[in-house]
A and B are shown apart, each in its own frame.
Chain A
Amino acid sequence: MPLLSLRNVSKAYAGVAALRGVDLDVAAGEIHALMGENGAGKSTLIKILAGVVAPDTAGISIDDKPVTVASPADARRHGLRFIHQELSVVPALSVAENILLGRVYPRRAGLLVDWRALNRLAREALETLGITHIDPRQKMARLSLGDRMLVKISSAFLADAGAPARLYVMDEPTAALTRDESERLFKVLRGIKASGNSVLYVSHRIDEVMTLCDRATVLRDGKPIDSGLLTGITHDDLVALMIGRKVGEAYPPAGTEPSYEVAYEGPGLKLHKGEIVGIAGLSGMGQTEFLRSILGDPGKAWGAGVAYVPKERRAEGLVTTRPIYQNITLPHLQAHSLGGTWLTPRRERQFAQQLGDDVRLRAASPRQLALELSGGNQQKVVFAKALGGSPRLLLLDEPTRGVDVGAKFDIYTIIRDMTAKGMAVLLVSSDLPELLGMADRIAVMRDGEITATVASKGLSEETLLNLCYGRTAAAT
């Protein structure tokens, strides 16, 4: 009898499926790994379990009893405990307050907070993890990143008489921990397993998963690919399962060879005119910061022929309350005004129309507000803006994220057209097939630094992913 059983869990965001009919069973007394590439749907699945995201369809049962999880409080009542990937703590509050965040504080005379009891509960939770060096009364802000993570984790072990814990869900809990701290956490997790409760464990660290977990379920593109025991399976088998074979992805072929003329040179990286260099790496390894460091002061960068397509198109790429044409000309107003001062809207609209056509933008008119466009078309506006100054270096951060297949191909075509004219492109992407399909060379980033640069020709996804995980390239 499984402790947790999920049947046909589906979720789509604005028509884009994140989960398609996922089934998952976690037995009592096991540590179950949930694996998959970035964007495979792991986080969405966990958020549904946590009652944070409402699924489109889902059958959830715990101990064979069907339950509904409509809120985090529901999840807690059913014995589910979560450690989310994002380190969400309140730095201004004490360690104890962070551990008991969202819970009913112990009271004195039903009114005043019983601080002593609060600190005692927090200390007990910390001690479950064998942590004695953190004072529950300390301000969270004064702790190191690793200690904060430990506090976050220990909050899951807080005693709760009303709803005993059954299943611990952990999303990349060891990301900020030292080896010793991780080992201590694993000991606690094994203790949980021995007591008949279970753990659903999400991690990119395959070696960790292989030693800690009993079974694994692999998600790909929102579907469960395989589920089974981790004995008798190799590291490489697991990676192959996660990547799978991509079908139907098409990348326009490169028309020209990159030249030998250097377009940009920086720490650990050299770009040639007409070249596309990809940057691969696990999420949050400093890719965005790297692009920003090349961009430097955006005011000077745009003027010097460096264009930037940021990762978050709504938050960083567009002024959505303004018309398309004003977004496209924003970095180029100096050139598209009279003497840098007087606006010439009619000419701006012509210019925007031209660029919009170049990127196959589908919009009613350049006067349309950016917020009225679909995600793919919004991204095309960001591209049109980037291309408006005929840049010599184009910095792209996840340029096709959340973009539908058709618009993706258009964007790839634009990139190819521009490199044929001599533009150099730096392409950060977590989509490995995209990197392999588009880039001439691929640089791998770990912890903010480029650790390897390889030619993409003949490179397999497996080798690339291994490089991202910091393992030496397997000879192929």
Chain B
Amino acid sequence: MGQFLRRYGTLAGFVLILIFFSVRLPGTFLTAQNWLNITQQLSMLLVVAAGMTIVMVMGDFDLSVGSMASLSGVVVAVLFSFGWPIWAAVPAALLVGLVGGLINGAMVSLVGILPFVATLATLTIFSGAAFVVSGGRTISGRVIPDAFGEFARDGVPLGTFSVPNLTLVALAVLAVTWLLLEQTTFGRRLYAIGGNIEASYLSGVPVRRLKLMAFSLTGLTAAGAGLLYAARVASANPTQGSGLMLNAIAAVFLGTTMSEQGEPRLLATVIGVLILGVLDNGLTQLSVDSYLRQILVGVIIVVAVAGSSLSKTARR
């Protein structure tokens, strides 16, 4: 029973949540349109959580993803206002993410600063930079090219529905991240580092280089999420990504409760994101106060993680 709860407790909880909302929200919750909406709303979080999983596989984490998302959003908007075309501004903003991640990685692996401290510092740095770049204003209106916002509103038709482009982008990022983590030597080595960094180093795993690469990728995904966000609202302000970080970490942690050794796995992270997203969607439809929603989400995280570690402790 304990074994079962540890592995499948979170999944079972997810199913219960689905059943609860299906019963309470007949005709609106379990519809294809609602689910397409959920995936669209969750696309930014899915992308950030995928990147977060990469560093958390190594046992590290990155607190700066939210402010990086804000920064990349305002960078792309400011570049638009300078008259840059989409094909130049978008890669430039992604490059900002890559470089920001590289800085995080360098501090963690080359200087040896704890990820908590290093990325806490870059959290405020990126956030400050976002204010400086935008002048503290929301950038919107005519400077944002129409095609940028339209991309987020459009989708690919599938039967009578249209699958949102944002959902497709998130799926693509998830697919690439899954391949990286599960099918390449890169991912294998990251998992080895997360399991035992000393043994990995002594086995010839290039720990420093991999940490640099992993943090760079996390920065890149954060910037990507920032672009998705900016496209969805066709504007950019210096705080719009700030909610992503805690939710991404929460999603990865929810995911780790589903693995035997407490390792982050990408598909488990996706379940974690879906739990958070479905709760948000369902509770909003039930018009539950958003502050109560926050409390509930926190309680669910504690229950899931506590349940999994309690059943682990009981085995000892």
Point out residues on A near B: beta carbons under 8 Å. Answer: 295, 298-303, 308, 310, 315-322, 326, 330-331, 333-334, 337, 340-343, 369, 385
Contacts and interface: CB of A to CB of B under 8 A. Distances in A.
- Top 9 closest A-B pairs, CB basis? A319-B195, A302-B204, A321-B261, A331-B203, A319-B196, A321-B195, A330-B203, A331-B204, A299-B204
A378 to B, nearest CB: 11
B200 interface: yes
Contacts of B191: 319, 322, 326
A342 B183 CA distance: 6
Contacts of A303: 204
Contacts of A308: 202
Contacts of A333: 185, 188-189
A268 B199 CA distance: 28
Contacts of A331: 203-205
Given A326-B192, A343-B184, A299 B202 contact: no
A299 B55 CA distance: 21
Nearest to A329: B188
B243 interface: no
Contact of A316 (B195, B199, B204): B199
13 contacts: A298-B202, A299-B206, A315-B199, A316-B202, A319-B191, A322-B191, A330-B188, A330-B203, A330-B204, A333-B185, A342-B183, A342-B184, A342-B185
Contacts of A369: 261
B198 interface: yes
Interface centre among A295, A321, A385 (most CB of B within 10 A): A321
Nearest to A295: B202
B185 A310 contact: no
B195 A310 contact: no
Interface in B163-193: 183-189, 191-192
Given A299-B204, A299-B206, A331-B203, A322 B192 contact: yes
A50 B199 CA distance: 33
Nearest to A313: B199
Contact of A317 (B183, B184, B189, B199): B199
Contact of A318 (B184, B199, B263): B199
A334 B185 contact: yes
Nearest to A340: B185
A341 B180 CA distance: 9
Interface centre among B184, B202, B263 (most CB of A within 10 A): B202
B201 interface: yes
A302 B198 CA distance: 15
A343 B203 contact: no
Contact of B188 (A316, A321, A343): A343
A322 B198 CA distance: 14
Interface residues of B, number: 22
Given A334-B185, A340-B185, A318 B196 contact: yes
Contacts of A330: 188-189, 192, 200, 203-205
Contacts of B185: 333-334, 337, 340-343
Given A326-B188, A330-B200, 5 more contacts: A310-B202, A319-B191, A320-B195, A330-B204, A343-B188
Nearest to A317: B199
Contacts of B263: 321
B195 to A, nearest CB: 4
Interface in B250-266: 261, 263
A310 B184 CA distance: 27
Interface centre among B188, B196, B203, B204 (most CB of A within 10 A): B203
A242 B289 CA distance: 76
A343 B183 contact: yes
Contacts of B196: 315, 318-321
Contacts of B183: 342-343
Interface centre among B191, B199, B205, B263 (most CB of A within 10 A): B199
A427 B65 CA distance: 48
B198 A315 contact: yes
Nearest to B197: A319
A320 B196 CA distance: 8
A299 B206 CA distance: 6
Nearest to B262: A321
Given A333-B189, A342-B184, A298 B195 contact: no
B17 to A, nearest CB: 29
Contacts of A326: 188, 191-192
B203 A385 contact: yes
